[in-house]
């Protein structure tokens, strides 16, 4: 079974990613997607930890034993969303049919002018969020990502969209830098987006019910939300197959407040609400979950309670 996600090696290499990019942009999305079938089979055969993690998750979410075909389908969905990142960054949403739900909730909070914290998960395509840039072109979008985890992929994506690097807040820089950059962006009325279902190594975690068992979730995103004092909106970019995506926005809080007295229960309540919505969409679109490691056993020796300075640091805000 796969260990902590940060210990996993990056799939493919610079040449493989360059080849995929050339195929995608010069042969087109239809032809390029044909390459995903042998690619998916290759990773199915070569990456046993990810294969085992997929099976574990699918059996939990579906409530029954799963076949090798279902694991292959899960890996294919992951490959398809990664492939679609090329087109989302290079051409925007013109190649896709993106259904958007709850945009009015997001727009109402943008109009307040305080900035918005968008909290997502490793489900579907986080890059589908960029579709809202055409709906809200006047509002900058900053995304918290760990650029060091997948350097080859990051290089390729920045080559496709040269301005993307400026919009990324690098999670590898650490909590204080993330918090300062996010605060500056929000003061300018921007949207700051991050993923909150995957903790970095040595990060403070708390457990919440998820698919029938307690699972560890990072506290950093919620301490960052408290520090920013801006509206929090959940966002899910779910892949529906073909060229179809479903982008959902749900308001979570106008302002996150975590009292010093009862800090633990307050964090638990926030994380449980978030985990419940992640589970809701996992059950709706089970092949969209892309945490290919033993999610329920991650970092079991992590601290049960946050450090006193973590509220300022907002550590581990990105996945």
> What is the domain partition of the chain in residue ranges?
5-293
CA atoms within 13 A on the CB side of 76: 16
3 state SS of 238: strand
Whether the predicted pLDDT of 230 surpasses 60: yes
Q: How many whole angstroms separate alpha carbon 114 and alpha carbon 70?
A: 44
Please write the tens of the pLDDT for every residue from 245-290: 999 999 999 999 999 888 999 999 999 999 999 999 999 999 999 9
Please state which architecture CATH assigns to domain 5-293.
3-Layer(aba) Sandwich (3.40)
Please write the tens of the pLDDT for every residue from 68-115: 999 999 999 998 998 888 888 777 788 889 999 999 999 999 999 999
Whether the predicted pLDDT of 5 surpasses 70: no
Least confident of 25-34, 146-155, 222-231: 146-155
What is the band of 150 on the pLDDT scale with cuts at 50, 70, 90?
A: low
pLDDT on residue 93:
81
Query: Are 98 and 247 a contacting pair, CB within 8 Å?
Result: yes
3 state SS of 131: helix
Whether the predicted pLDDT of 196 surpasses 70: yes
Q: How many whole angstroms separate alpha carbon 289 and alpha carbon 69?
A: 16
Please write the tens of the pLDDT for every residue from 46-75: 999 999 999 999 999 999 999 999 999 999
Query: Are 168 and 142 a contacting pair, CB within 8 Å?
Result: yes
pTM of the model: 0.84
Query: Are 172 and 187 a contacting pair, CB within 8 Å?
Result: no
């Amino acid at each position: 079974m796969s260990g902590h996600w940060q210990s996993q090696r990056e799939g493919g290499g610079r040449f493989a990613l360059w080849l995929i990019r050339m195929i995608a942009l010069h042969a087109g999305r239809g032809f390029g997607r044909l390459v995903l079938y042998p690619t998916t089979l290759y990773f199915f055969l070569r990456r046993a930890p990810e294969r085992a993690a997929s099976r574990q998750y699918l059996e939990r979410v579906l409530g029954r034993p799963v076949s090798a075909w279902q694991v292959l389908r899960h890996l294919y969905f992951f490959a398809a969303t990664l492939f679609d990142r090329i087109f989302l960054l290079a051409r925007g949403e013109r190649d896709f049919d993106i259904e958007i739900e709850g945009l009015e909730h997001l727009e109402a909070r943008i109009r307040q002018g305080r900035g918005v914290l968008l909290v997502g998960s490793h489900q579907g395509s986080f890059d589908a969020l960029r579709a809202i840039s055409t709906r809200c072109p006047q509002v900058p979008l900053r995304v918290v990502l760990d650029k060091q985890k997948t350097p080859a992929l990051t290089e390729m994506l920045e080559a496709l969209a040269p301005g993307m690097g400026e919009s990324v807040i690098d999670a590898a820089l650490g909590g204080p830098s993330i918090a300062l950059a996010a605060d500056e962006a929000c003061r300018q009325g921007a949207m700051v987006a991050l993923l909150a279902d995957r903790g970095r190594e040595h990060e403070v975690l708390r457990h919440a019910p998820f698919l029938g068992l307690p699972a560890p979730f990072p506290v950093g995103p919620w301490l960052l939300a408290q520090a920013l004092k801006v509206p929090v909106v959940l966002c899910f970019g779910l892949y529906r197959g073909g060229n179809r995506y479903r982008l959902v926005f749900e308001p979570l809080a106008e302002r996150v407040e975590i009292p010093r007295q009862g800090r633990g229960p307050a964090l638990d309540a926030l994380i449980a609400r978030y985990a419940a919505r992640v589970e809701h969409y996992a059950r709706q679109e089970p092949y969209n979950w892309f945490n290919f490691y033993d999610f329920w056993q991650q970092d079991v020796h992590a601290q049960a309670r946050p450090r006193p300075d973590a509220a300022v640091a907002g550590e581990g805000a990105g996945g």
